[in-house]
Amino acid sequence: MKKTKGMFTTTMLTGALMLQGAVADAQGESHAAIQSSESIRPFKVNFPDAALKDLRSRILATRWPKSETVADASQGVQLATIQKLAKYWTTNYDWRKAEAKLNTYPNFITNIDGLDIHFIHVRSKHANALPIIVTHGWPGSVIEQLKIIEALTNPTAHGGKAEDAFDIVIPSLPGYGFSEQPTTSGWEPARIARAWITLMKRLGYKRYVAQGGDWGDPVTEQMGVMAPTELLGIHSNMPAAVPDEIAGALWSHQPAPSTLSADEKRAWDQLDFFFKKGLAYAQEMGNRPQTLYGIEDSPIGLAAWILDHDARSYELIARAFDDKKEGLTKDDVLDNITLYWLTKTAVSSARLYWENKFIFFKPMAVKIPVAVSAFPDELYQVPKSWAEKAFSKLIYYNRLDKGGHFAAWEQPQIFSEEMRSAFRSLR
């Protein structure tokens, strides 16, 4: 497949799609014809003004509860924080800036296993760039990775060298963002992994690496389990690396083993907090995702549900709406929430928790090379000892002193440097 300045050759550009609340067919092709095709079609984000007007009116019509009865966030997203978000959303926020940013990159749609999959694909100008497919999670989206595109594809302008360059592929998970919503069950991480392998083959890549965090981790690790010959190695910033004996003790509410190292004890404490107080959203979506009509109907309900993913991320987001800069901005937060709202994917994205059959953080026996970046404010900062036990071919491990669950989004420079270092030995 030829390169033409980050785009496909014109013979491959077989149509155009516009998203206006739903994906329309390209150049009059029937949906059935598109589904049977392996074509890669360019895509442009373009929501109608009416959708934005409706969003604003719904926010303004929110029926607010009374304030929480405590002075902290122990009861959930605080009223003052969500009202600050609502005010900014209706007065200062401009979705069109996010839309324009998305459209500066080559966006595409292709049908894999009967489902239209959206992805961003940017080729580096540097020769011999290493292809990488990066997978987001919940409540993330492709917006989560926009900040790393330039640093990875054009490293010489971002503190790197030409030999550090990547071609980058960023797909939207099925039922998320601009990818089609499945109408039947079965789209779990292993099936998504197979779809991603098909996507990279369809793009013509003979060698590549893969990266993921949150849901991107089981998808990426399953790619590693399947180990197609083209896949050189994988990277995770939230690896499934909790030893069985540790997981068993946590689930049964036993005290921490006295033999844990300092790093292992810190990871234990993080996991203990998550399992006891931070897992409620995942349990609801894992058991009853269809019940969450409120987050599909109320933008404020959706925003609060997304903000409450984990305690440390909530703190960083709340800081942003107090005008304290650290990692994420107000616009970052609302770009992602607004994408969920406009694409009507609140419930369809939640179903991935119901579809999933893997146990959170349980090692998957990946046999190909694995790299791990351990961020301190992740759900748990994996100790090197656990990573070495989980991955027989651990080629890179780095314990960072800054960054959290949305590492690429919060700390794009650090994350990009991690990708260069993690995969350098595989080039």
Going by C-alpha positions, the residue among 105, 177, 181 that lies closest to residue 339 is: 177
State the Cα–Cα distance between residues 275 and 264, nearest whole angstrom: 16
Cis amide prior to 139 (ω within 30 degrees): yes
State the Cα–Cα distance between residues 72 and 249, nearest whole angstrom: 29
pLDDT in tens, 153-202: 999 999 999 999 999 999 999 999 999 999 999 999 999 999 999 999 99
pLDDT in tens, 356-376: 999 999 999 999 999 999 999
Which of the residues 116, 164, 167, 214 is marked catalytic? 214
Which of the residues 126, 136, 235, 405 is marked catalytic? 405
Going by C-alpha positions, the residue among 312, 305, 263, 262 that lies closest to residue 280 is: 305
pTM of the model: 0.91
Please say if 235 is a catalytic residue: no
Q: Over 90: is that where the pLDDT of 320 sits?
A: no
pLDDT in tens, 49-82: 999 999 999 999 999 999 999 999 999 999 999 9
Which of the residues 205, 353, 396, 397 is marked catalytic? 353
Confidence category of residue 107, pLDDT binned at 50, 70, 90 = very high
Beta carbons of 171 and 199 less than 8 angstroms apart: yes
Please say if 49 is a catalytic residue: no
Please say if 353 is a catalytic residue: yes
